[in-house]
Amino acid sequence: MGFFSINGKVFRKVLLAGLFVIAAAVWYSFQAKTIPVFQAEEEQIREITIVTNEIAAETEDGKKLEVYRWDPGTIYVRKGEKVRLRFFGIKGEEHSFMIEGTDVQGTIKKGKETVITARFDKKGIYPLICITHHDHERQGPMVAYIVVD
Ligand SMILES: [Cu+2]
């Protein structure tokens, strides 16, 4: 009886140790797989390049028409996604801009890059407005639309 009860204790200890090893192996394999995935997700920032463009024309009587534009004019972003907006000034000396519905604002100069990192947590359409070229009288409207869904 004594022999069997000692054996029973040893068996239980070995069983518990075995279960612990299995649990640790399962936990470790789970950790090893998930850690790099989380790191990759955190580092993911989508880059969007936007340039300042100009459309010019002339009427039959020689009147010059011109409008500054963002290129692209529509930017699609996922809700909660981190984006890096790289503005590059091509046409026009300077553009002071804001993104309506956010506190993002800045200035783009010809031949220079302005970089802004943003995250839109609410769905909607956010106008990217150039204040310098706001309306028809000031070679505008220079507006693009950031569509967040
Ligand atoms: Cu402008």
* Confidence at 144, pLDDT banded by 50, 70, 90: very high
Do 39 and 50 reside in the same domain of the chain? Answer: no
Do 55 and 80 reside in the same domain of the chain? Answer: yes
Q: Cα of 120 to ligand 1 centre, how many Å? A: 23
Q: Cα of 93 to ligand 1 centre, how many Å? A: 9
How confident is the model at residue 44, as a pLDDT? 84
The mean pLDDT value for 97-116 works out to: 97
Do 59 and 129 reside in the same domain of the chain? Answer: yes
How confident is the model at residue 37, as a pLDDT? 52
Do 67 and 138 reside in the same domain of the chain? Answer: yes
Q: Is residue 121 over pLDDT 80?
A: yes
Q: Cα of 99 to ligand 1 centre, how many Å? A: 13
Measured between alpha carbons, how far is 47 from 117 in angstroms, rounded to an integer?
Answer: 9
Q: Cα of 108 to ligand 1 centre, how many Å? A: 8
Q: Cα of 44 to ligand 1 centre, how many Å? A: 30
Do 33 and 57 reside in the same domain of the chain? Answer: no
Q: Can you give the residue range of the structural domain that contains 73?
A: 46-148
If you search the block for the tokens 């890059």, which residue do you land on?
113
Residue 128 or 10, more confident: 128
